[in-house]
Amino acid sequence: MTHPASILRSRLLGALAFAAAATAAAPALAQDAYVIGVSGAMTGPAAATYAPAVDGLRIYLDGVNARGGINGRQVRLVIHDNQGEASRGAADAKKLLTQDNVLILLNASLSATYAPMVAEAKRAGVPVLFASAVCPKEVYPPADPLQFCTTAFAANHDSRATLSFVKQQSKEPVRLGLAAMAIPISRAEIDFAENLSKQMEMTPVDKAVIPPPTADYTPFATKLRDANPNWVYSWAPWVTQVRTLEGLRRLGWNGRYIAWAHLNAEDELARLKDGDFYVIGANAFFQDELPVHKEIRDAVAKAGSQYPPTQMAEGWIAGMVIEQILKQAGWPTNPQKVAAAMSDLKVDTKGLRGGPIEWTKDNHFRTRQYYRVYRWDPSASAIRLVQDWQAVDVK
């Protein structure tokens, strides 16, 4: 009969051997796939802007995996929720870079998370991709070697395009009201727009910088209305843009309002049904019914999502770009090869944008930015395209 102590010893040795084998196998298993790390504002006050995009990315990459992956390898997406907080973004970045050994670190969150995430990524030599998060100036020429951006909106370029549109549309002198959210990126853009408007012979009459969040936007709208603008331009998260508009309309202001077309702009135009509310953006609306829109709708219906397909364009484009990057990087790969692939990239967005996304060594934003303007047409009870793709060279 075998002694109990020897049975225990052999079981312990077996368990240790198993643990050693499992531990040895784990890195090998992880290395069998391309690993992409995401730190995004999946919950918290800013989640409505970012969570749908991350879900769109997830659904896109699930589709890629279902078709056999890239270069014969699956893509593993590791998603963390930073709630828009810098400390969480830093912790996510550390974990994704040191434990998950990601090839790309993706930021889908507020600009407060940028600095700590970029710092960690630079230490690890891993490229950072901003998707649905506002593009930092480091992606514009001359670009930082490790920072890239697929997000539609672009500081300064957006305001130039918007004010050009306003000037073109106005038969009378423009008295311009401006509305920003009290976050650095929005304030800086509206300050830029204010200065630009003077150069374009418009008169900026008032500027409302609104802290997030606000229980009632009417006091801010009152101040704007009292300045008697005939146009108001807002470049801010959607909540500030639309609630300022609603506040102005409530006060009886009948001027024209133009804002950036965030993810939910298409649905919101249909909800508000305001014929003098214009949205300018870089993503085509789903009402165009392009083949890629059908592709997105079908994928979302199959995968299931809390978010409507109309809010998935940013995530889908990020997915298309990541797929192209990894195809170019090949297998086996490492962050350096991936960064090199990203610095020479051209991706056909299939009509989701006005043209391809092109990155070069010095330009990690895109070489050309395309804009469209939409508004609600009350006579047709439908969204109308007011201005088709206008291209702007990004220098």
Partner 1 sequence: MQLLVNIVVLAAIYALIACGYVLIYRASRVLNLAHGELMMLGAYLLLTTASLHAGHPLLAIAAALALAAMAGAFVYLALMRKMTGEAVLAAVLTTVALGILLRGVIVMLWSAQQQYPLQHLGFANPPIALPGGARISSAMAVLVATTAAVYLGLFAFLRLTRWGIRLRAAGQNPLLAAQRGIGLHGAYALAWGLSTFTGGVAGMLIAIDAGLDQTMVMIGLKAFPAALVGGLDSLAGALLGALVIAASEVLLIHYVDPLLADVVPFLVLIVMLAIRPWGLLGTREQLDRV
Contact set with partner 1 (CB under 8 A): 42-48, 51-52, 182, 208-220, 222-223, 238-239, 242-243, 246, 249-252, 264, 268, 271, 306-308, 311
Compare residues 46 and 146 and give the one whose CB is closer to partner 1: 46
Report the nearest approach of partner 1 to the CB of residue 312 (Å).
Answer: 12
Report the nearest approach of partner 1 to the CB of residue 394 (Å).
Answer: 30
Compare residues 145 and 212 and give the one whose CB is closer to partner 1: 212
**Residue whose C-alpha is closest to residue 81's, from 111, 114, 107, 57:** 107
Query: Cα(68)–Cα(150) distance, rounded to whole angstroms?
Result: 25
Report the nearest approach of partner 1 to the CB of residue 182 (Å).
Answer: 6
Compare residues 117 and 190 and give the one whose CB is closer to partner 1: 190
Compare residues 147 and 264 and give the one whose CB is closer to partner 1: 264
Contact, 371 vs 354, CB < 8 A?
yes
Q: Is the torsion defined by CA of 292, 298, 302, 306 positive or negative?
A: positive
Compare residues 161 and 190 and give the one whose CB is closer to partner 1: 190
User: Secondary structure of the chain in the HEC alphabet?
Assistant: CCCHHHHHHHHHHHHHHHHHHHHHHHHHHHHCEEEEEEEECCCCCCHHHHHHHHHHHHHHHHHHHHCCCECCEEEEEEEEECCCCHHHHHHHHHHHHHCCCCCEEEEECCHHHHHHHHHHHHHHCCCEEECCCCCCHHHCCCCCCCEEECCCCCCCHHHHHHHHHHHHHCCCCCEEEEEEECCHHHHHHHHHHHHHHHHCCCEEEEEEEECCCCCCCHHHHHHHHHCCCCEEEECCCHHHHHHHHHHHHHCCCCCEEEEECCCCHHHHHHHHCCCCEEEEECCCCHHHCCHHHHHHHHHHHHHCCCCCHHHCHHHHHHHHHHHHHHHHHCCCCCHHHHHHHHCCEEECCCCCCCCCEEECCCCCCCCEEEEEEEEEECCCCEEEEEEEEEEEECC
Report the nearest approach of partner 1 to the CB of residue 222 (Å).
Answer: 5
Compare residues 74 and 218 and give the one whose CB is closer to partner 1: 218
Compare residues 49 and 151 and give the one whose CB is closer to partner 1: 49
Compare residues 43 and 228 and give the one whose CB is closer to partner 1: 43
Q: Look at phi and psi of residue 342 and say left if phi exceeds 0, alpha if psi is from -120 to 50, else beta.
A: alpha
Report the nearest approach of partner 1 to the CB of residue 348 (Å).
Answer: 29
Report the nearest approach of partner 1 to the CB of residue 40 (Å).
Answer: 10
Compare residues 24 and 215 and give the one whose CB is closer to partner 1: 215
Query: Cα(223)–Cα(225) distance, rounded to whole angstroms?
Result: 6
Report the nearest approach of partner 1 to the CB of residue 220 (Å).
Answer: 6
Compare residues 122 and 297 and give the one whose CB is closer to partner 1: 297
Report the nearest approach of partner 1 to the CB of residue 249 (Å).
Answer: 8
Report the nearest approach of partner 1 to the CB of residue 83 (Å).
Answer: 8
Report the nearest approach of partner 1 to the CB of residue 92 (Å).
Answer: 16
